[in-house]
Amino acid sequence: MGDLDFRGSEPFTLGVELELQLVDRDAYDLTRAASALLAVLRQRSHSGEVKLEITQSMVEAATGVHTSHESLLEELSRIRDALAAAADELGVGIAGGGAHPFQHWSERRISDRPRFQKVSDLYGYLAKLFTVFGQHIHIGCQDGDEALYLLHAMTGYVPHLIALSASSPYYQGVDTAFESSRLNTVLAFPLSGRAPFLLRWYEFQDYYRRMRAAGIVGSMKDFYWDLRPNAGFGTIEIRVCDTPLTVERAAAVATYSKALARWLLAKPRPALTEAVYLSYSFNRFQACRFGMGGELVDMESGTRRAIGEDILATLDTLRDHTADAGEQAAFDSIESVVRGGNDARWIREQYEATDSFVRLMESQAQRFRGK
C-alpha cells in the first residue's frame, strides 16, 4: 500500500483494541510476562487476536469486526476469559486502567520485535514511558473522503471519550491531579496530537507520500494522532481513550462512538473548516484534567458548559436516532458513568479506602475479570 489506497469498509462497523497491564500477584507491580502469555495462548483456541506491545509488561487484545453492541461485548468477554485462563496458568494478573499507579519506567523491557526496537532507538526513554494503556476504536467508513470528514467532525466529541474512559489518575506513585494522565505521555511524541486538516483522500495521500519521502515516517503506525485514518482497515481509529477497567465499559464507549459517527454523517453535513480545532487543545486538556467537570468551549456559539452536561445532552439526541436495544443499553451505561463517576473516580476511591497501591491494583485485576 505504497500509495495508501483506502480500501473502504461497511459503514459504522466496529472493532476494538485494548492494551492491558500484566501484573504479578504478590506485589502487583508490572511484570515481564507478555511473551510467556502469548506462548500459552498459542496452544489454545481463543477469540480475537492478542499480540505483543512495546514493552513486555503489556499486551494488546483486538476484536474482529462487529455490527452490534451485543456481539462486540460478547467477543470482548470471550477474549477476557481466555486471557484470564492463560494468565492463571502463569500466576499472572491482568488489569485495565490507563496507567499502572506505581511502576517505574526504567524497569520496563522493550519487546523483541524490529518495530519496537526501532522506536526505542529513535525515542530513547520515551519508548519505556510509553508503557501506558489505551483503548483504540475503529469505525468503518465507505471511502477515504468520508473517513477524513468524520475524523475532523468527531473532534468536538473527543473530550467526551476522554472523560468517559479516564482511568489513569495515579502515575509513578503519585496522584497526578489528572483523571487521564496517560495522554500526557502520548503528547511527548513529536508526531502526536491532531491530524492535519485535510478533507480529500488524494490530499492525504500526497501528504503521506511527502512525509515518507522525507524519512519522517515509515508507515501510518508512526503517527500517534488522537484520531487517524486506517487505510488498510477502511476505518477511522480513535486513540484518545484510556483502557477502561471492564470490557463492559469498553464496549459501551465504543458503541457511543459509533452512534456519534452515524449521527454526524446522517445529519446535514456543514462544511468543515480548520476552525473546528480552535478550542481543541483547551477542551482536550479540560477532559484529561477534570473529567466530567471539565469545561467544554464551543467557539462558534461562544458557550461553555461541563463535559458531563454535554454528554447527557448528546445522549438525548442519539436516543432519538436509534431504536436499537443494544445501543440503548450502551447509552444507559454511558449515562451511569456521567452520573455515578468514571473509572478514575473509582480508582481514587479504592486507594483512599485502603491507602495501598498494591491493594488498588489487586482490586483492578479482580474488576477486569468481572469479580
Residue 70 located in a structural domain: no
The total of structural domains in the chain comes to: 1
Residue 250 located in a structural domain: yes
> Residue 43 has what pLDDT?
92
Residue 76 located in a structural domain: no
The single-letter code of the amino acid at 360 is: L
What residues contact 250, with CB distance under 8 A and at least 6 apart?
16, 18, 76, 96, 135, 243, 244
Task: Tell me what percent of the residues of the chain surpass a pLDDT of 70.
Answer: 99
User: In this model, does residue 118 exceed pLDDT 60?
Assistant: yes
> Residue 144 has what pLDDT?
97
> Of 222-236, 249-263, 268-282, which gets the smallest average pLDDT?
268-282
- Under the banding of pLDDT at 50, 70 and 90, the label for residue 224 is very high
Supply the pTM of this predicted model. 0.97
- Under the banding of pLDDT at 50, 70 and 90, the label for residue 255 is very high
User: In this model, does residue 351 exceed pLDDT 90?
Assistant: yes
CA distance 261 to 241: 16
Mean pLDDT of 290-317: 95
Q: Quick check: helix, strand or coil at residue 355? A: coil
Residue 362 located in a structural domain: no
Mean pLDDT of the chain: 96
Dihedrals φ, ψ of 272, to 5°?
Answer: -90, 145
> Residue 300 has what pLDDT?
85
Pick the closest to residue 305 from 320, 292, 319, 289 (CA basis).
Answer: 292
Residue 83 located in a structural domain: no
User: In this model, does residue 251 exceed pLDDT 90?
Assistant: yes
Q: Residues 318-340: pLDDT tens digits?
A: 999 888 999 999 999 999 999 99
Residue 38 located in a structural domain: no
Residue 93 located in a structural domain: no
* Domain extent for 331: 14-18+110-354
CA distance 295 to 54: 34
> Residue 317 has what pLDDT?
95
CA distance 190 to 188: 6
Q: Residues 204-220: pLDDT tens digits?
A: 999 999 999 999 999 99
Q: Which CATH number belongs to the domain containing residue 334 in this structure?
A: 3.30.590.20
Task: Tell me what percent of the residues of the chain surpass a pLDDT of 90.
Answer: 94
> Residue 192 has what pLDDT?
96
- Chain position carrying cell 526501532: 118
User: In this model, does residue 259 exceed pLDDT 80?
Assistant: yes
User: For residues 323-348, b (16+ Cβ closer than 10 Å) or e, as one string?
Assistant: eeebbbbbbebbbebbeeebbbbbbb
User: In this model, does residue 267 exceed pLDDT 80?
Assistant: no
> Residue 1 has what pLDDT?
42
> Residue 57 has what pLDDT?
97
Q: Quick check: helix, strand or coil at residue 122? A: helix
Residue 1 located in a structural domain: no
Q: Residues 10-30: pLDDT tens digits?
A: 999 999 999 999 999 999 999
